[in-house]
Every structure is written in C-alpha cells, then in structure tokens.
Amino acid sequence: MLLLAAAFTAAADEYGVETLLYEQEIEDGTVGLDRYGDPVQISSIAVPVQINPGNYQIQVTRIDSNVYKVDGTDYYIQTKYCYKYSSREDAVLVVKSKYSYYNYKLVFLDNQQHHARYDDLPRYPDFK
C-alpha cells in the first residue's frame, strides 16, 4: 500500500501540456477584437510553437488558470487540468516529439524524487 501511495504522489506533479506558446510583440497601434467584436489595443500575441524533443529544466510562474510563463523567456505553457499555484518554481518541460502537442508534459520539481531524476539537465535552454 505504501508503494502505491508513493507512485501516486510522484504522478500528481506531472501535467499534460496542451500548447506551447511564444509571445511576439506587434506593431504599435495594432487593434484586436474581443469575443464580442469590440476593438481592443494589443501589444503582443502568443503563437503556438514546436520545439525539439528533450527535457528542459525551467522555472515557471502561474499567470492564469492553466497558463504558466516560463520565467526569463517569452514562452508560455498552456496546460490541461493543472491548477498548481507556482511562482518561479523549478520544473521540467518534457518533449517527446515536436510533431504532436500531446507529447508534452510539465513536471514540477517539488519533491526529492523528481529533483534526483532531472538534476543533470541544463537550465534555460534556447527553445528555438
């Protein structure tokens, strides 16, 4: 029974990633439309991107429900059913394939088991 509890605890720190987004600044004065068709001033847009397979050690901060900013970069991670509150928390972005958004997961390094598994990864790699 103890082994089952340990396995569940480790899995609870891993969340599926729906989309990896890159923030791009746009020309001053650009106007977007809200969901009602009303004009709104915008300064940047977030576009979906794909990155090479690998494990990327990052720090993330939650900015909205299921949206995390990769600290120190212009990248955002949109998760599936992840409601973890974090501020500059160590994590790993696991990318199994760059051709499928379902091959991404976000692993929070808030326990010793995860730290030992991912400690040898480089920090803040160039995602491009």
What are the boundaries of each domain within the chain? 14-19+50-118
Predicted pLDDT of residue 1: 38
Q: pLDDT (tens digit, 9 = 90+) per residue, 21-53? A: 999 998 888 898 989 999 999 989 999 988 888
Q: pLDDT (tens digit, 9 = 90+) per residue, 46-88? A: 999 888 888 899 999 999 999 999 999 999 999 988 888 999 9
pTM over 0.85: no
Task: Write out the DSSP string of the chain.
Answer: -HHHHHHHHHHTTEEEEEEEEEEEE--TT-EEE-TTS-EEE-SEEEEE----SEEEEEEEEEEETTEEEETTSSEEEEESS-----SSEEEEEEES-TT-GGGEEEEE--SHHHHHHHTTSPBS----
Predicted pLDDT of residue 104: 86
